[in-house]
Amino acid sequence: MDTPNALRSGWASRFGFILAATGSAVGLGNIWKFPYITGIHGGGAFVLVYLLCILLLGLPIMVAELLIGRCGQRDAIGSFMVLEGRKSPWRLVGWGSVAAAFVLLSFYSVVAGWSFDYVCKAATGILHRGNPEQISGLFGELTASAPRLVFWQALFILTTVGIVIGGIRGGIERWSKILMPGLFGLLILLFLHGMFSPGGMQSLKFMFVPDFTKLTSRSLLDALGHAFFTLSLGAGVMITYGSYLDPEADLFGLSFRIALLDTLVAMLASLTIFSVVFSAGMPIDGGPGLVFKTLPILFMQLPFGKVLALVFFLLLAFAALTSAISMLEVVVAYVIDEWGWRRAKATSFGGGAAFLLGIPCALSFNLWEGIKLLPGRTVFQSFDMLVSSYLLPLGGLMVSLYAGWVWTKEREKPASCRLADSGVLFAVWHFLVRYLAPAAVLLVLLNEAGLFS
């Protein structure tokens, strides 16, 4: 092992770190994607499998990523070079992660832009005019307009750049401390409202009474894939954020809290959305349009619907923003640490490049709809598949193999490279990253590649 750099300046407090890392984890994945895939997979049983995936696979890999970053004291690529040598093939794992974060930012910002547009629509009252068809038609109108999509995407990236440019304490931590409590407050408000609505009980039953006949092999794979995505694993985020952590921080405890908060948000958001859907007697398996097409119609039928809609889309925008911040920070940390650029220049460069790459993604919904990058998939869908189905799981697989097989307990390590190991906890973690996680992730990857179909 090379000598790690002198400890770099980092988070002002552990609490700040928890909020920033939870901010990364809580995003469109929790509020937009988790509810609709839970709806499609039939509720309770899927939720149970998902919880097991978070606990047995996601959590151990998160600990491993934080550990790699804290020990390396560098960006996602640099940390592997510090730990294994400049020319070590493990640095390719870092490369894959930075690439994943960068490509992810480009298409994530398109969907995040929709949430900005809906905040505007809700605030100006456009969302509340007309009949249900007109309201759900607003979504099609938005995605059909290339200039509007690019405008919102640009504004979203600009906001992200504006925050990341302020640095770890002055930008990311400071804004997470404002946005995350805001997000929790808004969510609890909506949740309480949902639970007292007529669909509240039915929504609880749907989420927590498992019906195992609804479970298919696809449900298992989707649960695992989503556990990765939702915890921001495989894209270098936890390595990068871990590199700003102090050597004494208890990585097990911190990871547990982040995963718990992330799960809580996913559960509350789903219960709220389902209670609204059930109250209106609508089908629960509406798919990706659930949040942008179905919900606005339903909000209109509720008392205080206008305020609720505004609160909901603000919540979505906050969640997307704190996740995008982490993606950009992965790229920025790399450019600062490895190329020696100043933060302002690195951030503008990373944000600008992600914006340019995002333009073809925005155009995939309209002008370039006919252009297919991978067979049968638009640029947006190809990027999404490349990152969510391959790069993130592959990154997670390599991190677990590294932590389980290369990273041995016996090595001489400085404090920042040690886990607060309480014997049993360490043994369980080591077993999970060494055997269970690689086997499970490999299974998913092979399945995605079509080996079992």
Q: At what angle do helices 200-208 and 44-53 cross, to 10 degrees?
A: 50
Contacts of 451 (CB under 8 A, 6+ apart): none
Report the residue from 28, 321, 336, 397 that binds ligand PFF according to the rule CB under 6 A: 28
Smallest separation (angstroms) from ligand PFF to the CB of 238: 8
Rounded distance, CA 81 to CA 78, Å?
5
In 3D, which of 115, 175, 193, 157 has the Cα closest to residue 324?
157
Report the residue from 294, 326, 347, 382 that binds ligand PFF according to the rule CB under 6 A: 326
Q: Is 333 in the site for ligand PFF (CB under 6 A)?
A: no
Smallest separation (angstroms) from ligand PFF to the CB of 6: 27
Tokens 């550990």 sit on residue = 67
Q: Which stretch binds ligand PFF (CB under 6 A): 26-34, 42-50, 83-91, 215-223?
A: 26-34
Mark residues 190-229: x for contact with ligand PFF by CB under 6 A, - for none.
Answer: ---------------------------------------x
Q: What is the chain's alpha carbon radius of gyration, rounded to the nearest angstrom?
A: 21
Rounded distance, CA 347 to CA 333, Å?
9
Cα–Cα separations (whole angstroms), residue 365 to 77, 140, 190, 381? 34, 9, 31, 10
Mark residues 266-305: x for contact with ligand PFF by CB under 6 A, - for none.
Answer: ----------------------------------------
Q: Is 29 in the site for ligand PFF (CB under 6 A)?
A: yes
Query: Looking at beta carbons only, is 232 or 294 nearer to ligand PFF?
Result: 232
Rounded distance, CA 156 to CA 163, Å?
11
What's the sign of the alpha-carbon dihedral 311, 222, 206, 266? Answer: negative
Smallest separation (angstroms) from ligand PFF to the CB of 198: 30
Cα–Cα separations (whole angstroms), residue 318 to 124, 315, 394? 19, 5, 28
Q: For residues 86-115, which are near ligand PFF according to CB under 6 A?
A: 101, 104
Q: Is 232 in the site for ligand PFF (CB under 6 A)?
A: yes
Smallest separation (angstroms) from ligand PFF to the CB of 388: 8
Smallest separation (angstroms) from ligand PFF to the CB of 47: 16
Cα–Cα separations (whole angstroms), residue 74 to 68, 170, 385, 422, 446? 9, 19, 28, 27, 32
What's the sign of the alpha-carbon dihedral 340, 344, 349, 354? Answer: positive
Q: Which stretch binds ligand PFF (CB under 6 A): 20-28, 52-60, 285-293, 400-408?
A: 20-28
| Cβ(193)–Cβ(19) below 8 Å | no
Q: Is 391 in the site for ligand PFF (CB under 6 A)?
A: no
Q: Which stretch binds ligand PFF (CB under 6 A): 48-56, 320-328, 378-386, 394-402?
A: 320-328
Q: Is 150 in the site for ligand PFF (CB under 6 A)?
A: no
Report the residue from 255, 323, 400, 416 that binds ligand PFF according to the rule CB under 6 A: 323
DSSP3 helix / strand / coil % (the chain, rounded to 5)? 75, 0, 25
Q: Is 255 in the site for ligand PFF (CB under 6 A)?
A: no
Q: Which residues bind ligand PFF (CB under 6 A)?
A: 24-25, 27-30, 101, 104, 229-230, 232, 235, 237, 323, 326-327
